[in-house]
């Protein structure tokens, strides 16, 4: 059983991650987590101290739990760039702050870094409105260039093919063929995947009302900086980290919304794509890194999540219906933690023993949440 | 020429746009500046609005426009409500009523709820939408601050069969200092009126040290109209100008609500993850009759509907206040 502790400031609640039912478990790991959550109130997604919260929470956990693997996600720059008009000077300052934060974290912890940028951001040009189609178009909250098309009419397809802002209309099989062997549930993949040209996004029902300024741009490869060696594709990250864990305390650091264009330290490029398809920042990309296998179909772009979202298990885990298997920290044989300020990604994609993440919805700060995935194995005397 | 949609009764002559900046004068009539332009259109659950006693567990198309007639210092929708709608011109979602209805049906929605800003800012568009919604058999509901004039309160009632009314405080001073309006009287008048002719629920966002002392008077007022009106007390996480204010203490606010629970049948305390106070219990015998789960801000859902046929408590048979059919699992097919 995975345990959740939600901290809504001055008030904590313990629940079962799978069922959402209240539970009461008191042991070494819950004591650590309760204390960490109490000491580190989440300042908010776009707050000046949001990324510092990731570092400080992780350092507190490190001090008590002594993990060999630390997975960190820094996302403040992604949220700010997306929802605010930034001058070039402001944008550069924001990037510099992120890299200083990473330096701070590494200097304080002494861990060996594996720093990954999830991809470039680009100016948002315009939205393509798909609400008038006969069929159902779905584009995820955070997706930029992908939308799924369900039950389109010939009229829909004819119309879409006239839009110069659309780069590709890929039939379901075309996408499946691109990733031979990748696990997929056929019904979840939309009949067509619409791919917009860089800078354009799709407006479908559920597209948030906030004005968007920057969105994920073309990132066929993404930067990886580490003294541990190069990885040709992002599927190689898992092996690189796990092979080195017995000799190194490793910090896997994910910098959201930063690609090759803006990476501030020497890096090697790692393939983030297959043919014309590339991963945007999000759960599929993170799961691909974490499991070492292509996870394009874990949450297919444009799948009709609205159909599946009702009263499911794992109420704190977004679209996830089960804890993904084979993640980077699972069964690694070493202690692990994960801390991030992009909500449920942190506890679901890395599989770390103890995870702490922000609990925010549409940038509204609700507090933070901790998850203990392996309470039985975590014993005080083992460290 | 005056706009009489809300109690500001703004003068729209000489090209003025009014407090909400959503209306203008055109050929001697008050006209919307941005008719049929929506800021949001998405699918959600009724409990997330929140409506706990209307169409339980139904799937709803949520919509909103722009502009507001209040200036709440803690507004959580300031990016839409507090700016000049003209700034959003490029992003506005222009959808005719029939397109919105088609969208609702495509997604299997069983009703429509206007929940982003104040519906009085878009009454003409909503009246048109209402006609199409009626034809499609989709009831409409809204969240409103009820600062409407008597005439437009009747328009609200004509459009919406269920309303969640924000009663943010009970003193003139609070409304002056934190909401930016001169009098609470029209709101109280409209709550009384709407409770007689429509299903209403009331929501009070609470900020500790600001309006928590008014909770007793609010519950008293609601109980005076009808003790069965569901009351949602929201733990407010202030945004906008009050971002730095401390979060209200859950324990302390909950203590304050104990007296209200004696006067009102359905008192809920939520807007935070895992709230213990989102279930409906029978006011007579205390049996749990509806179970819900709260993920905080806009993430509530219904888990179990335990009432018997006719919305009766399974233990003592008391009728539980429910508007619309529970468990609306009959998804409409797109036509
Ligand atoms: S609806 Fe707008 S324009 Fe009309 S009176 Fe109210 S604030 Fe003024």
Global confidence as pTM: 0.89
Please name the residue of chain B whose CA is at the shortest distance from the CA of residue A314: B295
Please name the residue of chain B whose CA is at the shortest distance from the CA of residue A139: B42
Decide: B2 in ligand 1 pocket, CB within 6 A.
Answer: no
Instruction: List Cα–Cα distances, A57 to A26, A67, A99, A281, A350, in angstroms.
Output: 21, 13, 18, 23, 17
With an 8 Å Cβ cutoff, are B301 and A311 in contact?
A: yes
Would you place residue A181 in the very low, low, confident or very high pLDDT band (cuts 50, 70, 90)?
confident
- Token digits of residue B190: 């409209």
Q: In the sheet where A192-196 sits, what is the strand order?
A: A136-138, A146-150, A192-196, A166-171
pLDDT at site B74: 77
- Segment A256-264 mean pLDDT: 96
Decide: B38 in ligand 1 pocket, CB within 6 A.
Answer: no
CB atoms within 10 A of CB A318: 16
Decide: B89 in ligand 1 pocket, CB within 6 A.
Answer: no
pLDDT at A343 > cutoff 80: no
Sign, CA dihedral A139-A143-A144-A149, equals: negative
DSSP assignments along A122-185, one per residue: EE--EEEE-TTSSSEEE--SS-SSEEEEES--HHHHHHHTT-TTEEEEEEHHHHHHHSTT----
pLDDT at site A333: 92
pLDDT at site B247: 77
Atom of ligand 1 nearest to the CA of B12: 3
DSSP assignments along A22-65, one per residue: B----SHHHHHHHHHHHH-----TTSTTHHHHHHHHHHHHHHHH
Regions in chain B scoring below 70 on pLDDT: 76-82, 238-241, 243-244, 298, 327-335
Pick the residue with more confidence: A267 or B333? A267
CB atoms within 10 A of CB B299: 18
Of B230, B235, B210, nearest to B219 by C-alpha is B230
Of B94, B186, B97, B197, nearest to B138 by C-alpha is B97
Quick: pLDDT tens for A148-173: 999 999 999 999 999 999 999 999 99
| Dist. CA A324–CA A344, nearest whole Å | 13
pLDDT at A309 > cutoff 60: no
pLDDT at site A318: 80
Quick: pLDDT tens for B162-221: 999 999 999 999 999 989 998 999 999 999 999 999 999 999 999 888 899 999 999 999
pLDDT at site A360: 74
Identify the weakest region by mean pLDDT among A57-61, A347-351, B71-75, B134-138: B71-75
- Segment A292-315 mean pLDDT: 81
Would you place residue A211 in the very low, low, confident or very high pLDDT band (cuts 50, 70, 90)?
confident
- Segment A314-332 mean pLDDT: 88
pLDDT at site B334: 35
Check if B98 contacts A (Cβ < 8 Å).
Answer: no
pLDDT at site B331: 36
Averaged pLDDT score across all residues of chain B: 91
The yes/no answer to whether this complex scores an ipTM above 0.85 is no
- In A, which residues are within 8 Å of B110 by CB distance? none
With an 8 Å Cβ cutoff, are B106 and A136 in contact?
A: yes
Pick the residue with more confidence: B333 or A355? A355
Check if B239 contacts A (Cβ < 8 Å).
Answer: yes
Check if A11 contacts B (Cβ < 8 Å).
Answer: yes
pLDDT at A362 > cutoff 70: no
With an 8 Å Cβ cutoff, are A131 and B99 in contact?
A: yes
The CA distance from B43 to the nearest CA of chain A, in Å, is: 7
Decide: B22 in ligand 1 pocket, CB within 6 A.
Answer: yes
pLDDT at site A383: 45
Check if A13 contacts B (Cβ < 8 Å).
Answer: yes
Cα B117 to ligand 1 centroid, rounded to whole Å: 13
Buried-state track A153-175, b at ≥16 Cβ within 10 A, e below 16: eeebeeebeeeebbeebbebeeb
Check if A372 contacts B (Cβ < 8 Å).
Answer: no
State how far Cα A65 lies from the chain centre. 24
- Token digits of residue B59: 């799937």
With an 8 Å Cβ cutoff, are B43 and A205 in contact?
A: yes
- Element (DSSP H or E) covering residue A215: strand A214-216
Strands A364-372 and A354-361: antiparallel
């Amino acid at each position: 059983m995975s345990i959740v502790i939600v901290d809504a400031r001055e008030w904590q609640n313990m629940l079962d991650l799978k069922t959402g039912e209240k539970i009461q478990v008191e042991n070494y790991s819950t004591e650590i987590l309760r204390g960490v959550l109490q000491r580190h109130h989440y300042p908010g997604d776009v707050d000046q101290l949001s990324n510092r919260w990731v570092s400080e929470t992780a350092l507190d956990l490190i001090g008590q739990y002594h993990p060999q693997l630390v997975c960190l996600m820094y996302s403040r720059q992604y949220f700010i760039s997306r929802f605010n008009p930034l001058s070039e000077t402001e944008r550069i300052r924001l990037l510099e702050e992120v890299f200083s934060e990473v330096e701070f974290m590494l200097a304080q912890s002494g861990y060996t870094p594996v720093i990954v940028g999830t991809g470039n951001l680009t100016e948002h040009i315009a939205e393509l409105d798909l609400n008038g189609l006969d069929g159902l178009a779905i584009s995820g909250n955070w997706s930029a260039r992908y939308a799924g098309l369900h039950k389109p009419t010939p009229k829909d397809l004819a119309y879409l093919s006239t839009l110069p802002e659309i780069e590709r209309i890929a039939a379901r099989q075309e996408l499946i063929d691109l990733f031979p062997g990748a696990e997929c549930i056929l019904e979840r993949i939309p009949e067509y995947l619409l791919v917009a040209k860089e800078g354009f996004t799709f407006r479908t029902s559920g597209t948030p009302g906030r004005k968007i300024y920057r969105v994920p741009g073309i990132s066929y490869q993404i930067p990886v900086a580490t003294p541990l060696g190069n990885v040709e594709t992002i599927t190689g990250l898992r092996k690189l980290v796990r092979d080195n864990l017995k000799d190194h305390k490793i910090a896997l650091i994910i910098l959201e919304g930063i690609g090759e264009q803006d990476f501030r330290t020497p890096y090697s490029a790692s393939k983030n794509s297959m043919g014309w398809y590339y991963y945007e920042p999000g759960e599929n990309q993170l799961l691909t890194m974490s499991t070492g296998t292509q996870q394009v179909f874990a949450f297919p772009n444009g799948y009709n999540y609205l159909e599946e979202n009702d009263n499911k298990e794992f109420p704190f885990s977004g679209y996830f219906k089960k804890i993904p298997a084979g993640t980077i920290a699972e069964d690694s044989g070493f202690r692990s933690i994960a801390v991030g300020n992009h909500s449920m990604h942190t506890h679901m994609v890395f599989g770390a023993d103890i995870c702490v993440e922000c609990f925010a919805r549409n940038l509204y700060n609700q507090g933070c949440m901790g998850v203990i995935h392996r309470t039985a194995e975590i014993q005080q005397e083992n460290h | 020429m005056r706009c009489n949609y809300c109690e500001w009764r703004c003068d729209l002559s000489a090209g003025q746009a009014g407090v909400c900046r959503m209306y203008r004068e055109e050929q001697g009539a008050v006209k919307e500046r941005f008719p049929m332009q929506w800021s949001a259109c998405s699918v959600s659950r009724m409990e997330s609005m929140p409506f706990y006693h209307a169409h339980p567990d139904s799937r709803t198309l949520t919509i909103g426009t722009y502009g507001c007639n209040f200036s709440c210092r803690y507004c959580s929708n300031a990016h839409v409500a507090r700016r000049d709608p003209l700034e959003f011109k490029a992003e506005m979602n222009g959808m005719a009523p029939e397109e919105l209805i088609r969208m609702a049906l495509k997604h299997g929605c069983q009703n429509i709820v206007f929940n982003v800003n104040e519906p009085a800012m878009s009454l003409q568009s909503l009246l048109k939408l209402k006609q199409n919604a009626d034809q499609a058999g989709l009831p409409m509901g809204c969240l409103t601050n009820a600062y409407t004039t008597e005439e437009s309160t009747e328009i609200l009632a004509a459009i919406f069969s269920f309303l969640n009314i924000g009663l943010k405080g009970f003193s003139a001073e609070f409304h002056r200092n934190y909401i930016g309006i001169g009098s609470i009287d029209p709101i109280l008048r409209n709550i009384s009126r709407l409770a007689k002719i429509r299903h209403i629920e009331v929501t009070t966002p609470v900020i500790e040290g600001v309006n928590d002392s008014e909770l007793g008077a609010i519950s008293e007022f609601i109980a005076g109209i009808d003790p069965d009106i569901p009351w949602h007390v929201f733990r407010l996480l202030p945004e906008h100008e009050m971002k730095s204010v401390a979060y209200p203490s859950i324990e302390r606010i909950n203590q304050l609500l104990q007296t209200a629970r004696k006067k009102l049948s359905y008192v809920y305390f939520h807007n935070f993850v895992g709230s213990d106070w989102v279930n409906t219990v029978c006011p007579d015998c205390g049996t749990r009759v509806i179970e819900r789960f709260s993920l905080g801000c806009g993430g509530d859902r219904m888990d179990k509907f335990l009432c018997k046929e006719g919305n009766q408590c399974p233990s003592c048979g008391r009728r539980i206040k429910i508007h619309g059919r529970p468990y609306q699992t009959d998804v409409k097919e797109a036509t």
